[in-house]
Amino acid sequence: MTESRDWNGHVDAFSLEGKVALVTGGNRGIGRSIALGFMSAGARVAVTGRDKSANAAIGEELGSKGLVLVADVRDETAMELAISDISHRFGRLDILVNNAGIGKVTSVLEMSQVDWREMIDTHLTGTFHTSKLAARKMIDRGDGGSILNIGSMYSLFGPPKLMHYAAAKAGVLGLTRALAVELASYRIRVNALLPGWIDTDMTSAVRATTVGEVIRRKIPLGSFGTPDEVVGAALLLASRAGCYITGTEIAVDGGYHVADLPMGLI
């Protein structure tokens, strides 16, 4: 078999051969595409999720090189057990993708403590403790690593009726920057992806409405993205190709965050 070489004559810089990755919320949507993409790039991949049938389906797709663990990302003890299972099965952990997430539209005037906590605990607290646990494993092994946090265009914008989501996703950016600086001396890089409107279960309801059509017209590249279209940027940040990138974010949104008016209006 011929090895592909990168611009410095090294083995393919985008290869994840020999690496082990954990993708939280990896049983469907963006997480599933990243998990399968990382596996195609050579990694052994573990995913976590709660839903039994979605977990069984991704288990089939990942096959014997994969590992599916039932774990709620809000539960630190469950995540600790999951990471320990990954260590036992694969002997290492090189890449963490903090992807698990939920969306729920609620006016701030109606928003309860339960709504707020569910959103913050899933996106922000889950990212905090999973990153901490994974970083400890990476540091023990001494080989560096990559942590990739899935933020959102709403890490930057102020969307109505999604205040809790925007607060959590903006928090993910602060966490990304601070972690990147603190963990740099261990060669652990920490970055964020900011997806725009991606075609998943999370967006299916809005996509089918007239609001979905208005959104589509504001996306310079002309359509909602597919989960697979997020994978390339994730691979860049997780692999040796991104070895000097840390503390930053990449928007994967078809140009949405720099667009002003719907296309064709002027």
Report the residue number, 15 or 99, with the smaller CB distance to ligand NDP: 99
Measured from the CB atom, is 24 or 246 closer to ligand NDP? 24
How near is the Cβ of 61 to ligand NDP at its closest, in Å?
13
Catalytic residue among 154, 165, 244, 256: 165
What is the nearest approach in angstroms of ligand NDP to the Cβ of residue 41?
Answer: 19
Beta bridge partners of 97: 23, 148
Asked if 45 contacts 67 with a C-beta cutoff of 8 angstroms, the reply is yes
Q: Are 36 and 62 in contact (CB under 8 A)?
A: yes
Minimum CB–partner distance for residue 144 and ligand NDP (Å) = 25
Closest approach, Cβ 75 to ligand NDP, in A, equals: 8
**Do 16 and 92 meet the contact criterion of CB atoms below 8 Å apart?**
no
Least Å distance, CB 108 to ligand NDP, is 19
Is residue 165 flagged as an active site residue?
Answer: yes
Minimum Å gap between C-beta 103 and ligand NDP is 6
Nearer to ligand NDP, 103 or 144 (CB): 103
Summarize as ranges the residues that interact with ligand NDP (CB under 6 A). Answer: 24-25, 27-31, 48-51, 54, 72-74, 99-102, 122, 150, 152, 195, 197-198, 200-203
Question: Measured between alpha carbons, how far apart are the two ends of the chain, in Å?
Answer: 54
Identify which of residues 49 and 66 has a Cβ nearer to ligand NDP in the complex.
49
Residue closer to ligand NDP, measured from CB, 100 or 188: 100
221 CB contacts (<8 Å, ≥6 apart)? 254, 255
Q: Name the residue nearer to ligand NDP (CB basis): 15 or 58.
A: 58
User: Catalytic residue numbers?
Assistant: 165
